[in-house]
Amino acid sequence: MSGVVVIVEHVEQLLDVYASNPNYNSRAAFLLADDITELIFKTYLKAWREKNPGVMAEPDNFPQAAILTAVTWSAKAALVPGEIKTRWEALEPTTHQRWRGQHLARIQNTADYSTIRSRWPQGIECIETALRLHQERNQLYHDPSHMRLAPAESAVCEAIHNVLTLGRILFTRRFESLLRLQPLGRALFAWFYLHKHRYGNDQVRKSLEDCFQRLPSYGHEKLKRFNQEQTGWVFVRDPEFGHGWMLLHHESTTYAKALEDAAISHGLIKKLLR
């Protein structure tokens, strides 16, 4: 099975977990986004290494995978990837201290890095965002002084958005085409962009609310939760409890179109050309 196909499956599951309850699942979504980002880097590098044997070995960790991804772009900036990698490794003679802290700072201050950035600004921005969020992730999940904290909603949305942008940059149109191939994936993709921008734009917030509150749907009648303490069923109307998420699953075709149309109308996503 193609690596891109597997990555798309992981991304759809990430969106699904987050959409089911954005508040409660913020930690899980933030952690998943970080893991998928590393998988995207390493999958891309594996394919690149197969086409360019002998230039680099498989990366050992997240930061190394991120920086080596930038190395692969050097060829299109009239640079030689193997030479760039050698020069950047030489900035830190101690092997176990490479690809972190001061070594990353030295790499980002080189002329070679600036040249690559000038040719691939969005890609380098994604790499730098990924490295920053990875550091936040390590603090939240490995530092006892931060273990009671949860990532801010803006950080979770930024992490997921970075996953989607990286996938599109590294795997071009195939990534997004596969993600939006089925109705549920289309619905989750559009929902995320509307959700991400809903606080900064009242019109976006209203469009998102309208999709779930005014769209005719048999799901509004079927959306019930069994209450074990009482006989019978009770309605669940709170979106944070999974109201919208369950509608996406019950009637993904209907909601995919509505959410996509809303996101496209606000310029948040583009119409997918098949």
Whether the pTM exceeds 0.75: the reply is yes
Give me the residues of the chain with pLDDT under 70, please.
1, 143, 145-149, 214-243, 274
**For residue 271, what are the CA distances in angstroms to 172, 176, 190, 225?**
15, 11, 11, 35
- Per-residue pLDDT at 179: 96
CB 15 within 8 A of CB 189: yes
- Per-residue pLDDT at 239: 46
Tokens for 188?
């989750």
Give the Cα-Cα-Cα angle 173, 251, 247 (nearest 5 degrees): 100
Which residues are registered as beta bridge partners of 235?
224
Output phi, psi for 233, to 5 deg: -125, 155
**Number of Cβ atoms within 10 Å of the Cβ of 32:** 22
